Chains A and B, each alone.
Chain A
């Protein structure tokens, strides 16, 4: 699946998107897999209350299942307007 990062999450991880091969069944499991990779991921995912997640471009939450999902995006709380 495609995993996208925005704002400071993108800066911490060092790239805007990547293709991830995963057997994670929920967002939480995917986060654990990513955080275990390297320090920069661990840092980006160290406080989930400071993060939001969108699945296929709709806001979702960390308990959500990943079945059928093609695009996951992680970002900080939005600051539009």
Chain B
């Protein structure tokens, strides 16, 4: 398991390549990368991501360990950034390695669904006009947990 909470950017190619190396028993690797997208109105300057330092690492490790156990993953990785990020920046990634692709895809979706509403991060959109809005949690994100 590899869980990283960091402000700095990551090299997707390097992380994916290193994650996929030496997996003798896995036939499938899935990676997902989240990118900061502009607000719907196209007026966002940056996104600020706050987190709960004492809790974040533990919460992510708990979720990741659950995914590893449930889908018998050969390995799993989560990187989540915090701090100020501009539109187009990489915000997070997950990678899963499993014997078969269905498990790798499902585990990656499970991780994403739980990161959305069970990992202690809060996003704030800083707008070009100087205003700022906390991003509201979506009911659909809470609903998404129910299928697991």
Do A54 and B137 contact each other (CB < 8 Å), given the known contacts A6-B120, A7-B124, A80-B116? no
Identify the closest chain A residue to B122 (Cβ).
A7
Q: Which of A4, A57, A78 contacts B117 (CB 8 A)?
A: A78
Report the count of interface residues on B (CB-CB < 8 A). 25
- Is the pair B54, A57 in contact by a Cβ cutoff of 8 Å? yes
B58 located at the interface, meaning its Cβ lies under 8 Å from any Cβ of chain A in the complex: yes
State in angstroms the CA–CA spacing of A75 and B59 once bound together: 15
- Is the pair B58, A75 in contact by a Cβ cutoff of 8 Å? no
B34 located at the interface, meaning its Cβ lies under 8 Å from any Cβ of chain A in the complex: yes
A68 located at the interface, meaning its Cβ lies under 8 Å from any Cβ of chain B in the complex: no
Show the binding face of B for A, using Cβ within 8 Å.
34, 50, 52, 54-55, 58-59, 80, 92, 112, 115-124, 134-137, 142
